[in-house]
Amino acid sequence: MIILYSIEDYDRPSVATDAVVFGVDSIAAKDRKSLKEKKLKLLLVKRGEAPFKGQYSLPGGFLRRGETVHDSAVRELEEEAGVKEPKLIELGVYSKDGRDPRGWIISCCFIALSDTVSLSTANDSDALSAHWLDVISTTDEDHFTLKLTDDKHTIFEYTDGEFIINELAFDHGIMIKDAFFKLRDEVINHDMIFDLMPELFTISDLQRPYEVITGVKLSPQGFRKRMMGKVEETDKYDEAAAHRTSKLYRRAR
């Protein structure tokens, strides 16, 4: 018995992609003699079309014929924010009913870690502009808080398992919360932190973004021990070091 398959017999959702791109930016230290401090950032765009016109959202858009979801996320990042050749890691598929007021739309979401590159938005993009926002996370024995702030106010706050403030479009607040914990796991247990590093770097170059992402403060000796097996020493030195010449390392081959 031959059973014929017809795609018309099945409902078909639209498919979109979104990208949660974190960046680590250098800021001037309070003490001029100190090394530059690091701040965690998140890439958001302001929507130029309904729904949620004018609100912040993750960069993303609809899958085009012939594209993979990865291709779509890469293209949307370049069109909406000018970010090229990002290294993307799959975060998850978001398909909850009602997540998009336009209809049945599922999103394949990715996560990336980048330097805070200059941003631009293509003229034919459906985004108005792209922005790096500050990410603030605090953790103690009893409480955890994750916030996103622009120059004016807090647009997102997740505290102890609840969304206190959420001015983001769609279900992007959930994606950002999930991505933050994924980022920490990737940096602590895997090698994602090296996405921020040039070929050669000092141990302090590696330690400062590690600490700002994970919230884990370590002594230089403790950090070297944690990175054991992940980095290898070279015979080169950083001649531009602020205080003394520092040995350069590379990612272990």
- Say what the pTM is: 0.89
Alpha-carbon 48 to chain mean position: 22
CA-wise closest residue to 120 among 230, 45, 38: 45
Please compute the mean of the pLDDT values over residues 219-238 and round it to a whole number. 93
Instruction: Work out the average pLDDT over 237-245.
Output: 68
Counting runs of H as helices and runs of E as strands, what totals does the chain give? 4, 12
Q: Which domains does the chain have, with CATH numbers?
A: 14-189 (3.90.79.10), 197-251 (1.10.10.10)
pLDDT in tens, 133-145: 999 998 877 889 9
pLDDT of residue 207: 93
pLDDT of residue 32: 42
Cβ count within 10 A of residue 126: 16
Segment 123-149 shows an average pLDDT of 90
SS (H, E, C) 51-70: CCCCCEECCEEECCCCCCHH
Helix (H) or strand (E) holding 209: helix 203-214
Cross-strand pairs, 167: none
pLDDT (tens digit per residue) in 165-179: 999 999 999 999 999
Q: Which of 11-20, 108-117, 138-147 is modeled with the greatest confidence?
A: 11-20
C-beta atoms surrounding 153 within 10 Å: 8
pLDDT at 241: 56
| 12 Ramachandran zone, left/alpha/beta (phi>0; psi -120 to 50) | beta
Taking the alpha carbons of 103, 112, 121, 147 in that order, is the dihedral positive or negative?
Answer: positive
